[in-house]
Chains A and B, each alone.
Chain A
Amino acid sequence: MELITGAPDRTLLLVLMATPHEADTATTMFRLADAALRAGHRVTVWTCGWATGLTLRSLGGAKPRNLASWSIDYPSTARLADDLIAAWPDRLTWVVCRFCMYDRGTTDQPDNVTLAPSRRFGRYLADADQSLMMGVM
């Protein structure tokens, strides 16, 4: 088995489809992106369907307070994405599918994400060394 651990700088495309909140798929995606970036790879996250809402500015920086853990600040997915992009500006590209965004009204997107037409998906796929489709549309 040939591992590429000694040869970083590969591009991993993570495609998050459909409803990320029905399970902890968004958490898994964030963990994979973080681990790949720390290992020296490039990551492109393509969000489709309702996953386009993960980066909504209207989510703010924190989730609503948890009554069971009143003093803990739980970051919103928008803040997690923003922090990850800020930490790896040259290695992480966060793409929001423009069709899905308009279709679902998730248009309040921050400036540090890329809005792309759905037809551009093929280009990101071709540019990636590996891709993983997460979730079912």
Chain B
Amino acid sequence: MITRLGAVSTFGGTPGEPWEGLSALTAPGPRYLLIESRSPMESPDVGAFADLAAGLADRGHPVDVVLVQNAVLMARAGAAGPLPALVERTGVTVHADDHSLVTRGADCADLIADVRLCNAAGLVELLLTSGCTPIWH
């Protein structure tokens, strides 16, 4: 990001002075709500979606990842997938939908550490948080 901004700054303004658009691009942007509905066994795009979450967090955006439907299967302790690395990222909070877990026979008490349980009301609350940009996959 800084490299890109540095390149952009050479296109206008006085060389050596900060580009006037710098503050806008480096200011805290929207918070993102990434809703994953698929499991890694269904779609290889699940890994790319996790990469997107990590990339947004790396650029300073707060990111909430909510797992619904089959995606909750990767929240189980010991399950394969991109989640263990993602929950350790600064700025990323991962939630798993309780209804989706229960309807798949999963144990809500045996999830990957730091994955939070949520329900539909919690997801609505996240959706209607000011400045939230939701993306469904």
Chain A residues at the B interface, C-beta cutoff of 8 Å: 1-5, 10, 12, 23-25, 28, 31-32, 34-36, 38-39, 41, 129-135
* Closest beta carbon of chain B to A109's beta carbon, Å: 25
A2 nearest CB neighbor, chain B only: B130
B70 surroundings in chain A (CB, below 8 A)? 23
Q: Which of B38, B103, B127: most chain A Cβ within 10 A? A: B127
| Category for how many chain B residues contact A | 20 to 34
Query: In the complex, A129 Cα to B133 Cα: how many Å?
Result: 11
Q: Which residues of B contact A25 (CB under 8 A)?
A: 37, 69
* Cβ contact within 8 Å between B136 and A32: no
Chain B interface residues (CB < 8 Å from chain A): 31, 35, 37-38, 62, 68-70, 97, 99-100, 103, 119-121, 123-125, 127-132, 134, 136
Is there an interface contact between A36 and B124, defined as CB atoms closer than 8 Å?
yes
The answer to whether B121 and A12 touch across the interface, beta carbons within 8 angstroms, is no
Q: Are B128 and A4 in contact (CB under 8 A)?
A: yes
A6 CB to nearest B CB, Å:
11
Please indicate the chain B residues that have their CB under 8 angstroms from the CB of A36 in the complex. Answer: 124, 127-128
B68 is contacted by which of A10, A28, A35 (Cβ under 8 Å)? A28
